[in-house]
C-alpha cells in the first residue's frame, strides 16, 4: 500500500521542463501507488474549464490513464487553480475534495489542505482571498472573454509577486497557533500541505506532525507514505534524494 502526496507543480506551458517532469512522474512513479493526492497549485494559472489548452489536455489524458491503471487520484484546489471545476476534474478522472479533507493514513487521522489559509499573519492576502472566493465574483470572472481573464490573472500574479517581495518570511509562513487549533478542531495528528514551498517534516507537541510539500522546478517533490513517511526530491531522470523520513509512523 503506497500513497503519494504532491502540490505546487505550477504547470505552465512556458515551462516545458516541469511539464515533462510531471508527465514522467505520473507515468513511472505515480502508477506504482494506490492513491495520488494533489494538494493544489497543479497549474500556475487556471482561468476556467472552458479554456483547456494543449498542455492541460495532455495532463488530463495522462491523469485519466493513471486512474484507468488503478491509481486513484484526488485533488484539492490551490490559490492559483481555485477555479478548476467539474468539467476538468471529470476529463482528468480526478476526484475533487473539499479544501480541508481528513483522511485515514495508516490509522492516523490526517488533515490535507493546500496551505494558504494557514498563513493568517498575511492579512492582506487573506482579505484578497476572501474577496475573490465569493461566488458572484467567480461567476462574473468566468463569464468574461478569455483574453480578458488571461490579462487579469497575469496582472494579479504580477502584483502578488511584487507585494510578496515586501513581506517578511514570518508574515508569509503559517501561523503555528492557527495550525495547532485547526488540528485540534479536526482531531488530526498529521497535517499535510503545500503553498509555502519549503519541504519539511515539522514535529509538533504530543507526537503531532506538520508536513510541508515542496514546489516543483528543476526537481520534483513527493511525500511517499508506506510504513514510513518519506519526503523525496527527484530529478528529471527520476533520480531521487530522501529529504526527511518519519519512521514507523504507524505506531
Ligand atoms: Mn499556493
What are 230's three cell numbers? 518519506
- Asked if 62 and 31 touch (Cβ cutoff 8 Å), the reply is no
Do 135 and 199 meet the contact criterion of CB atoms below 8 Å apart?
A: no
Please report which confidence band the pLDDT of residue 13 belongs to, taking 50, 70 and 90 as the band edges.
very high
Query: How far apart, in whole angstroms, are the C-alpha atoms of residue 94 and residue 36?
Result: 10
Spell out the residues 6+ positions from residue 184 whose beta carbon is closer than 8 angstroms to its own: none
Q: How close is the Cα of 110 to the center of ligand 1, in Å? A: 20
Q: Class of the 3-121+169-246 domain?
A: alpha beta
> Ligand 1 centroid vs 115 CA: distance in angstroms?
7
Distance 190 CA to ligand 1 centre (A): 20
Q: How far is the CA of 114 from the centre of ligand 1 (A)?
A: 7
Give the residue from 9, 114, 90 showing the smallest Cα distance to 55. 9
Q: Is 80 exceeded by the pLDDT of residue 139?
A: yes
CA 171–ligand 1 middle distance (angstroms):
15
Query: What is the predicted pLDDT for the residue at 196?
Result: 94
- 194 Cα: distance to centroid of ligand 1 (angstroms): 7
Q: Give the model's confidence band at 250: pLDDT under 50 very low, under 70 low, under 90 confident, else very high.
A: low
- The rounded distance, in Å, linking the Cα atoms of 73 and 36 is 5
Cα(18) to centroid of ligand 1, in Å? Answer: 16
- Report how far ligand 1's centroid is from the alpha carbon of 196 (Å): 7
pLDDT value of position 68: 94
d(CA 176, CA 20): 35
Has residue 97 got a pLDDT over 80? yes
Q: How far is CA 104 from the centre of its chain?
A: 19
Using the mean position of ligand 1's atoms as its centre, give its distance from the Cα of residue 157 in Å. 11
Mean pLDDT for 189-197 is 96
Q: Is 117 left (phi over 0), alpha (psi -120 to 50) or beta?
A: alpha
pTM: 0.95
Q: How far is the CA of 78 from the centre of ligand 1 (A)?
A: 5
Amino acid at each position: 500500500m503506497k500513497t503519494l502526496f504532491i502540490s505546487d507543480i505550477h504547470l505552465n506551458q512556458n515551462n516545458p521542463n516541469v511539464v515533462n517532469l510531471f508527465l514522467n512522474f505520473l507515468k513511472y512513479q505515480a502508477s506504482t501507488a494506490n492513491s495520488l493526492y494533489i494538494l493544489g497549485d497543479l497549474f500556475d494559472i487556471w482561468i476556467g474549464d472552458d479554456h483547456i489548452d494543449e498542455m492541460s489536455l495532455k495532463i488530463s489524458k495522462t491523469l485519466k490513464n493513471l486512474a484507468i491503471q488503478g491509481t486513484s487520484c484526488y485533488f484539492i484546489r490551490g490559490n492559483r487553480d481555485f477555479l478548476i471545476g467539474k468539467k476538468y476534474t471529470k476529463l482528468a478522472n480526478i476526484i475533487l475534495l473539499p479544501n480541508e479533507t481528513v483522511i485515514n493514513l495508516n490509522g492516523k487521522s490526517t488533515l490535507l489542505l493546500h496551505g494558504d489559509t494557514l498563513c493568517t499573519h498575511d492579512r492582506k492576502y487573506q482579505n484578497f482571498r476572501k474577496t475573490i472566493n465569493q461566488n458572484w465574483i467567480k461567476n462574473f470572472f468566468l463569464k468574461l472573454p478569455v483574453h480578458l481573464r488571461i490579462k487579469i490573472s497575469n496582472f494579479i500574479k504580477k502584483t502578488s509577486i511584487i507585494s510578496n517581495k515586501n513581506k517578511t518570511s514570518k508574515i508569509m509562513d503559517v501561523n503555528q497557533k492557527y495550525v495547532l487549533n485547526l488540528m485540534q478542531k479536526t482531531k488530526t495528528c498529521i497535517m499535510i500541505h503545500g503553498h509555502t514551498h519549503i519541504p519539511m517534516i515539522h514535529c509538533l507537541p504530543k507526537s503531532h506532525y506538520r508536513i510541508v510539500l515542496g514546489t516543483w522546478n528543476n526537481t520534483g517533490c513527493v511525500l511517499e507514505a508506506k510504513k514510513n513517511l518519506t519526503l523525496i526530491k527527484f530529478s528529471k531522470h527520476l533520480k531521487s534524494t530522501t529529504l526527511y523520513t518519519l519512521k514507523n509512523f504507524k505506531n
